[in-house]
Amino acid sequence: MELNPVIIIGASGLGKAALDIFKSQGIMVYCFLDANEELHGAEISEVTVMGAPNNDFLKHIGKKCDAFVAIEELDTRQSVIKVVKERRKVMPINAIHKDSSIAESAFIGYGNFLNAGARIGSDVKMADHCIVHSNAVLEHDVQMDEMVTVGSGAIIGAGAQIGRGAHIGSGAIIAPNVIVGEGSQIGPGSLVMMEVKPNTTVFGMPAKEI
């Protein structure tokens, strides 16, 4: 089956990583879109940043072209995804590195980014638009809501539940069966042993609210 070309929205580091993933899978990247006018017209690995993600370019997304949203900042990511879904009536596709590992029983939604070395265990349920950086591990039965970011090398223990929009810092460890609330921030290298309430920031070993 012939795969549609992809428009990557966001030309920062995450967008470049997504470009590498798609190229390695033989998927053509049509262009980048980015709100930063200073990037317009620039080329990234021979792919041009055509302009901002507005109607002039979004009209290509749909039957002839897929989209991937490569924006780490949560509010901007949410707003761009909303525009793609409402104006073009499509869901962004996944960018999954060939060197990641996903158990057959795991469920992965739409618009997710999994970089090299990411490991997704059995019966994991990952909702839409999550970012899992290199060498992060989701052990079996983890449940992860939308818009979660998991930093490089982080480990989420079996049965943990990660709320919408949470950010797990690089190298952090979430103990098994721990609940991390919506919008929470887990500092890099932290060890989380207890429930994290929504919209709080924790840091340390063991992690404490700051």
Catalytic annotation, residues: 140
Tokens linked to 99: 């060197």
Tokens linked to 147: 């818009």
Tokens linked to 116: 């090299």
